[in-house]
Structure 1
């Protein structure tokens, strides 16, 4: 990933927080037929190793897991908040006109080695993923709400994968290269849009302002 120093985020807890917020990552591997990418939800185990581990399952019919047995190196991409930034929000536009559009975003990329796991591990991963995704609901659904034989049948149709993270990179491209007045304009413009994604990016720009 291209990482200008200004946009590099090396704060591991912040990188882990993005993964937990945006669990639907892109699993990329290189198999017999070349590059393969599948979007799947992950569970992060931050205590599993120095950089953590990612737990996931895929359909047994998905050939990617067989590729991982022979070539276990993977890249997992987690896309955080992102938003188009119009130059109309910059004070510099009014001063000189020398501005262009851009895109603000946050992203984490994790490299690791994948390992196919046994059925007991898979059962725990399903429970952990379900709890992580259901915990905010007033009446969370639990795996135990479904018949045990039905869950067992469903589990036979999937394969568990654990990825020990060996390298993790974060990129927060959030208007750090603009001056104070321009960043204030970006924050004001995003807030004025009023939707969740815009407000979230406005807050990130506030947090990453460096002056």
Structure 2
């Protein structure tokens, strides 16, 4: 992705945290069927490989997995909070009106080859870990073992798993770092006062600047 030097994020722990906090990623690939993209929940195994390994699953009816099985690189996009930035947020605008609106955002792109998984035991492990992650904190968490075994077996036959060892990891944190400290504070205050929760999320991340 295009990412100016001022907005590049290289800290692996911060990149992994962003990925773990993203509930739905986008898997993008290009093969015989052309350019394809699927939205799916995924799991990060941060200690597998240099940059970590990502697990997930696709519906067997989703033909993207057939292209993935042929090899080649795929891209997982982990979007984050984003916000419109008005020039009115900049105190410097009063002295220098030469400014325009922009957009602040955070995102992580993970590249790597994809292994397609058909083995039922491995598939069950993936969906069980995904379920446990998203059921955590509920009063009565649902587990895969709550479903009848024959029904679960049928559901597993309807999906394929994916394993993507990350070979390249890019992070963007466009949070007005190219502006003065006074303007950064103005953007942070403007977004914090917004009624949009994504604006508020981005304002909270700007406290680390």
Judge same fold: TM > 0.5, yes or no: yes
Residue equivalent to 1:142: 143
**Contact 2:29–2:75, Cα closer than 8 Å, also in 1:** yes
Matches of 1:97 and 1:138, distance apart in 2: 54
**Contact 1:28–1:36, Cα closer than 8 Å, also in 2:** yes
Residue equivalent to 1:93: 93
**Contact 1:20–1:44, Cα closer than 8 Å, also in 2:** yes
Which residues of 2 match residues 21-40 of structure 1 at below 5 A?
Answer: 21-40=21-40
Residue equivalent to 1:170: 171
> How far apart are 1:9 and its partner, in Å?
0.4
Question: Aligned pair 1:158/2:159, yes or no?
Answer: yes
Q: Residue deviations 1:115-165, cap 9 Å, x none?
A: 112221111000111111121333322212222221111111000110110
Runs of 4+ in structure 1 displaced over 6 angstroms? none
Q: Residue deviations 1:33-91, cap 9 Å, x none?
A: 21111111111111111111010100001111111111331011110111111111110
Structure 1 unaligned regions, length at least 5: none
SS at the partner of 1:70?
coil
Matches of 1:124 and 1:58, distance apart in 2: 14
RMSD: 1.2
Structure 2 unaligned regions, length at least 5: none
Matches of 1:86 and 1:138, distance apart in 2: 42
Size of the aligned set, in residue pairs, is: 208
What's the TM-score once normalised by structure 1's chain length?
Answer: 0.94
Which residues of 2 match residues 114-153 of structure 1 at below 5 A?
Answer: 114-117=114-117, 118-153=119-154
